């Protein structure tokens, strides 16, 4: 359904994004932010899924500033490689990868109001985007690693936010999720009987019922805030 296209950030940096077009007129647009595994087959399928629901979907390569063409699986070596790349991107001088996400939002705006959804590291970036970037109307985060830390929780979102977490997620302690919920009563927070990565059907932690419910909630949230 989709294809890669080149976008350009405000500093002139070119980078690829996977773009999936809906059939007919878009009812809004969704920027899809990758995990630490690149814009791989799972993230492309997520973008295709949003396009099938009528949204223009744009999935920027948020690793491109440190390494182009990254597409990892979910093994131990993939995990190590992805974590190293994420660390390298996070170490970039500000605004770093946020300017690439801003360019993706700008491109997505041709589809109408823009929402953003991110998974794992992408969930953290989705949260930061909701707080720092322009042109968004809604944001959804899936098990955003790091977003429940005091520094990140201190941010203030500029748009409505929906957040999904897993009860058995050993990367994101439940008490930090509860602290985040308390700090942000305006954010819709849901906790599922699942582990980190529960949305990804290519991972051992995939939980079909939780993924289905979270997707239904996300689609309803985007339809509410993005549909004209």
Contact call for residues 189 and 163 (beta carbons, < 8 A): yes
Nearest CA among 217, 11, 218 for reference residue 103: 11
| Annotated active-site residue in 42, 169, 184, 207 | 169
User: What is the C-alpha to C-alpha distance for residues 85 and 92, in angstroms, rounded to an integer?
Assistant: 11
Q: What's the CA gap between 28 and 109, in Å, rounded?
A: 8
**Do residues 34 and 119 make contact, with C-beta atoms less than 8 angstroms apart?**
yes
The tokens for 80 are 């190590």
Task: Give the separation between CA 126 and CA 131, rounded to whole angstroms.
Answer: 9
Catalytic-residue membership of 169: yes
Identify the CA nearest to 135 among candidates 106, 164, 157. 106
Mark whether 200 is an active-site residue: no
Among 100, 120, 200, 225, the one annotated catalytic = 120
DSSP state of 4: E
Phi-psi region of 143 (alpha: psi -120 to 50; beta: other; left: phi over 0): left
Are 117 and 59 within 8 A, CB to CB?
Answer: no
Which among 131, 196, 200, 207 is annotated as catalytic?
A: 196
**Catalytic positions:** 120, 169, 196
């Amino acid at each position: 359904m989709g294809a890669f296209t080149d976008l350009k950030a405000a500093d002139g940096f070119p980078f690829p994004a996977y773009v999936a077009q809906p059939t007919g007129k878009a009812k809004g647009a969704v920027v899809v932010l990758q995990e630490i595994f690149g814009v791989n087959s799972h993230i492309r399928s997520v973008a295709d899924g949003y396009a099938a629901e009528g949204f223009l979907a744009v999935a920027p390569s948020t690793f491109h500033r440190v390494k182009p063409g990254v597409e990892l699986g979910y093994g131990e070596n993939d995990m190590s490689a992805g974590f190293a790349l994420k660390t390298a991107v996070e170490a970039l001088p500000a605004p770093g990868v946020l300017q690439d996400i801003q360019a993706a939002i700008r491109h997505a705006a041709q589809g109408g109001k823009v929402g953003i959804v991110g998974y794992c590291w992408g969930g953290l970036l989705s949260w930061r985007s909701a707080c720092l970037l322009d042109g968004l109307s809604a944001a959804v985060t899936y098990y955003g690693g790091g977003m429940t830390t005091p520094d990140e929780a201190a941010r203030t979102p500029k748009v409505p936010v929906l957040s999904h977490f897993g009860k058995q997620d050993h990367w994101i302690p439940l008490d930090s999720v509860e602290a985040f919920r308390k700090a942000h009563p305006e954010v819709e927070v849901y906790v599922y009987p699942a582990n980190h990565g529960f949305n990804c059907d290519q991972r051992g932690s995939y939980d079909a019922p939780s993924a289905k419910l979270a997707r239904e909630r996300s689609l309803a949230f985007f339809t509410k805030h993005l549909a004209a």
